[in-house]
Structure 1
C-alpha cells in the first residue's frame, strides 16, 4: 500500500522507482553518494533528520502546535532560489542562502535554525544546495505530501547572491514581476506560495506587524488549521474560513491575499482537492528545486537502486585481511542472504576450478527515509565481515538471496560481478584517529597499508575534501604519508601514516593513493572520516564450495524487488522486465 499519496500519483511514483537506469553499474560515483543519502536517514550527533521525531523536535523548537514543524525548510529553499535571474541565467538553488542569512528578507529564527540543521551533511559529492533540495523532498514527504523527484549536481556559490525575496508589503505588480524574474509565471507564483504555506506559520518576533502578540517569543500564527502537507490552505481561503496571517491580520502585509487572487482565483480553484493540490505542488516544487544557474547541469533523477551494494572495504586486521560489504534490498522476514567471492591469487584465482568462498550475513537492519516510508517500501541492509587470507585476497564478489518462499536469485552487478579493483593500498580505519573535534590543530591521523612484496612506492598520499565547514567554504588538501617503521608489518603489508591538518569541518572524505616505481597509481576511493578509529566487528566464518556456477551475464535480485513493488501497486512489469532479467538457481 502506498501511504498518504493521492491515487493519481501512484502510477507516476511507480515509474519513478522502476525507471532505474538500465546502465547503472556498481560502483558509480557520485550517483551512489546521492542515492545512499536519498534513501536513508542520517544522524550527525543529534536526532536523525527526516524522522517524525526530528519533525516534532523542530515543531517544539520553533513553537508550532502541530507535529510537522518543517515549514522553515520549504521557506529556505525558495529564499535560496529567489536569487535566480531568468535573463542572464545566474543564481538559483546554489547554497548562497548560507551567506545571506543576515539580510532582512531572510529574517527569522526558523531560517537560522535550518542553517544549523543542514550544516553537517555536505560532503565531497553532496553540496549544500543538494542538501537543501533533499531536505525539501524529505520535509514534504514527512508531512504526508507527494514524493518530489531529486536530481543531484548543484554547484555551491561561495558568496552571497543578489537580493530577490519579495516583501509581504509589495503590491501585486511587484510580486508578479519578481517571480517572473525568477522564472515563474503567475500561476506558478500562486502554486509556490500556496504549497509553501501549507506548512508553518509566522512568528511574532520576526513579523510583529503581521502577528498580534504581547512580545512573547512563543507566539506563532499558523497558515492553516493543520500542520500537514494538505490543501487546507486552499480550501479555507476559498470558503472564507482561513486563518492565514498573510491574508487576514494586516491588509498592508496581506501578500497571500494579493497573490492568491491575482488571476481571479482560477489557480486556487484548480488546486482545491487533495489530488490536484499534490500534483500541482509536486510539479512546481520540482521546477523550483531544479532552478539552478544556467551553467550547471543536473543529473538524471536519482532513483532507488533496488539491490544496492555499499560500505565495501578491504582492509588489514590484526593478522590477516578483512573484507566487509553491505547489501540493501526489499526483504521478507524469511529472507537470507549469502555473499560469495573469488580469490585473486593462487590455484583458485578468479574461482578457477569453480572454487568459491562464501559466508552468511552477520546481521541486518532496517533502512528507511521519508521517501521510502511515503512509498510504503521496507528495505533491509545485510552486512558481511569476513577474514581473507592475504595470499589469496579477493577479486570479485556477488550475492545469493533466498526469499524463503521458493525463490532464490543471484545478484551479480548485471553479470560482471562486484569487482575489487586492487589490493595494493588499503585504508586502515582502526589505526587512524581523529582528534580534530577536540583540538583542530591536532588534525586527522590516517594509516594506510601498502603491499611490501613489490618495489617501494614512489609516493603514498591522501587527497582530502571537506565541505561541512563553519564558514561554508570547501576545503581540499593533499598530504603525503610516510613509511612508519614503528608499526610491524601485517600479512605482507607495511604501514604508511600521515596527518591531515586543515580544518575540514564536521566530516572529511578522502581518496588514498599509492604510486609504484613505474608510475602506476592505485586508489582506495571515497573513504569517510566518520569511520576513523572503528574496528570491524567479529568476522563471519568462511566456507568453500565447488558446486553451482560462478555467475556472469545476467542480473538477479533487482528484478524481484521491482516485481514486489509492482504487485503492491498493481502495475504491470512488462516494461521493467526489459530492463532486468531474473536468474533462478
Structure 2
C-alpha cells in the first residue's frame, strides 16, 4: 500500500470512528431518554434515582439500588447451555413479581415508574437496561454502554434467580447457565452490591426486625456511592455487609462471603483498585444488560448525536398556500462549549431536491432557546418555526452552526441530508382527544389521493392486576376517509374510541400508500392534542390543486 493510500485509510477510519448517528434511528426515543437528563426538554427518566441517595419510594429504599437489582433479577432467569440461550434481559420481570425470588416492593415500583416510558420504540427490557446506566451513573459509577433492540417477553422466565441460602457451588452453576464465569460471578456481585442494602422486611433472617433505623442494613459504608468499598472493607475485615457478617452467618445466608471467598478472594482483591473496579463494573454490567434471548439482535451502543432534529413536524396553514415546519435542533456542546454557537441556520431543499422555495429563501436562521444536561454531556436547543410554500414543498435539509468566532460548521447527516417528506402529515389543530375518543386529521398531498390512507395507533391498556404494573401495549389500524380538498392537499379523518384512561399515552402514525409506496408521519403523541378539534378555516378562494 502506498503512503498516500495509507493516509487515506487512516483519515477514513477516523471519520468512521467519530461519525454521528444517522437520523432518524430506531433508537431515537431511547437516545433522548438516555441523554436528556436535566434541564430544557429533559425526559425526567431519572426522577427517582437522582440523586443517588433518593428514597422516593420510602425510607431505606434507595431507588438507584432497586433499579440495578431489577436488571439482574430480570436477566437472571436465563439459561445459557450448549450454546443456546433462553431468556435474558427481556422484561420478563413484569410477570415474575409474585415469585418468592422477587419479594419486596422494589421491583414493582421500579416497573411502575418505567411503565410511563414504555412505547413501541422503547421496550420494557430496553428501559430496564437504561435503568442500569442511570443508577450507576447517578451514583458516581462508570458509564455502562447501552444498546437498543431488546424484545419483551410475553411470560415469566424459565427458571428462578440465585438466593442467599444457596451454596457457593450452586451460585457458580446458576451464573454459569446465565453465561457468566466464576470470576464474572464475583465481579458482578460486587458491582451490583456497591449501592443499597438488605431490607429487614424481606430478609429478617439476615437483618432482624427493628435492628436498623430505617429498615435497611447497608452493604458497605457508602450506601449512596458507586465505589469499591464493598471490596476494600471486605478485604480489610471491617465490613458490616449483612451478607458477609452478622446473623446471616449462622443462618448460612452470608451469600456475599460465599461468592467473594469462592476463589480464595483472588478476584475480590483485584477489585480493591478503584480504577480496576470501575472498568470491570462497566464491562460486566454491560454484559448483564446485553444478555438477551437468542434471535434478538442488539444495536451498537447508543451514542448522542452532535446535531439532532427533534419533533420536526409539518402543518398545513389556514391560507393553504403554506405549511409550517416546526420542531427543534438539539446541538451537543460537550466539547465545543455552550456559548460557542451564536445561531443556527436550516438550509432546505424543495420537494424535487432543488432550490425553488417560491417567494421565500430556502434558509431559516434561529437562536438559542434552552439547554439540557446529561450525566456527561451538555446540549443546547434551537427552535424551528418557518413557513414553506405548499407549491414547492420540502424534501430535506442540512444544518449550519454559526459560531461566535465567525466560523461555520455544516452538518449533513453523514452525507445523507436530513430527509423530510411532505406527502402526508398529521394536522394536530384539527385532531383531538377527549374521554378516550381519538379523532385524527391528516393532510395528504393531492398527487397521492388515489393511494390508501390509514391511521395506526399504539396504545396502552392497564392489566388490572396490581402485580402487573406494566400496561399491555396494543395497536389498531383504521382507514382514514377523505373530506375536504384545500389547495394542494386533501384532509383525511379517522376516529378511534375506547382508548380508556391511558389514551393520552397513545402514539399515532398516519400512512399514505402501502408496502413500497408507503410514506409515514409517525410516532405523534396523543398527549399533544387538544380536547376539541378545531375547524380548518379554508379561504373561500381556495382551489384543489395537483402539485
Same-fold call, TM cutoff 0.5? yes
- 1:343 Cα deviation (Å)? 5.7
What value does the CA root-mean-square deviation take over the aligned residues? 3.2
- Structure 1: gaps of 5 or more residues: 1-16, 536-585
> CA–CA distance in 1 between the matches of 2:198 and 2:44?
25
> Aligned pair 1:232/2:229, yes or no?
yes
- 1:309 Cα deviation (Å)? 2.0
Query: Per-residue displacement from partner, 1:406-445 (whole Å, max 9, x unpaired)?
Result: 3212222234432323x2221112322233xxx4xx3322
The answer to whether the Cα contact below 8 Å between 2:345 and 2:402 also exists between their aligned partners in 1 is no
The answer to whether the Cα contact below 8 Å between 1:39 and 1:368 also exists between their aligned partners in 2 is yes
Between the two structures, name the one with larger relative contact order (CA 8 Å, sep ≥ 6).
Answer: 1
> CA–CA distance in 2 between the matches of 1:426 and 1:303?
29
> Aligned pair 1:247/2:241, yes or no?
no
Q: TM-score if structure 1 supplies the norm length?
A: 0.78
> CA–CA distance in 1 between the matches of 2:451 and 2:196?
58
> CA–CA distance in 1 between the matches of 2:267 and 2:49?
34
The answer to whether the Cα contact below 8 Å between 1:20 and 1:304 also exists between their aligned partners in 2 is no
Which residue is 1:337 aligned to?
Answer: 343
Which residue is 1:522 aligned to?
Answer: 519
The answer to whether the Cα contact below 8 Å between 1:323 and 1:387 also exists between their aligned partners in 2 is yes
SS of residue in 2 equivalent to 1:312: strand
Which residue is 1:293 aligned to?
Answer: 293
Which residue is 2:317 aligned to?
Answer: 317
> CA–CA distance in 1 between the matches of 2:244 and 2:204?
15
Change (3 A) 1:492 1:353: closer
The answer to whether the Cα contact below 8 Å between 1:191 and 1:267 also exists between their aligned partners in 2 is yes
Q: TM-score if structure 2 supplies the norm length?
A: 0.83
> CA–CA distance in 1 between the matches of 2:358 and 2:368?
30
The answer to whether the Cα contact below 8 Å between 2:449 and 2:490 also exists between their aligned partners in 1 is no
Which residue is 2:11 aligned to?
Answer: none
- 1:106 Cα deviation (Å)? 0.4
Which residue is 1:461 aligned to?
Answer: 454
Which residue is 1:426 aligned to?
Answer: 425
> CA–CA distance in 1 between the matches of 2:147 and 2:257?
33
Query: Per-residue displacement from partner, 1:244-272 (whole Å, max 9, x unpaired)?
Result: 11111221211111111111110010000
For residue 369 of structure 2, the aligned residue among 330, 350, 364 is 364
Matches within 5 A, 1:42-441: 48-50=44-46, 54-55=50-51, 58-64=54-60, 69-87=63-81, 88-214=84-210, 218-226=214-222, 227-249=224-246, 250-251=248-249, 252-319=252-319, 320-329=322-331, 330=333, 331-342=337-348, 344=350, 349-351=354-356, 356-361=361-366, 363-369=368-374, 373=375, 375=376, 377-421=377-421, 423-435=422-434, 439=435
Change (3 A) 1:248 1:460: same
- 1:388 Cα deviation (Å)? 2.1
- Structure 2: gaps of 5 or more residues: 1-13, 464-469, 533-547
Greater share of strand residues, 1 or 2? Answer: 2
Aligned residues: 498
The answer to whether the Cα contact below 8 Å between 1:340 and 1:399 also exists between their aligned partners in 2 is yes
> CA–CA distance in 2 between the matches of 1:174 and 1:195?
20
Change (3 A) 1:20 1:64: farther
- 1:175 Cα deviation (Å)? 1.4
Which residue is 2:537 aligned to?
Answer: none
SS of residue in 1 equivalent to 2:480: strand
- 1:126 Cα deviation (Å)? 1.6
Query: Per-residue displacement from partner, 1:63-102 (whole Å, max 9, x unpaired)?
Result: 239xx64101111000011111111310110000000011
- 1:217 Cα deviation (Å)? 9.7
Change (3 A) 1:327 1:46: closer
- 1:46 Cα deviation (Å)? 12
Query: Per-residue displacement from partner, 1:202-254 (whole Å, max 9, x unpaired)?
Result: 11111111112339994111111111100011111111111111111221211
The answer to whether the Cα contact below 8 Å between 2:20 and 2:305 also exists between their aligned partners in 1 is no
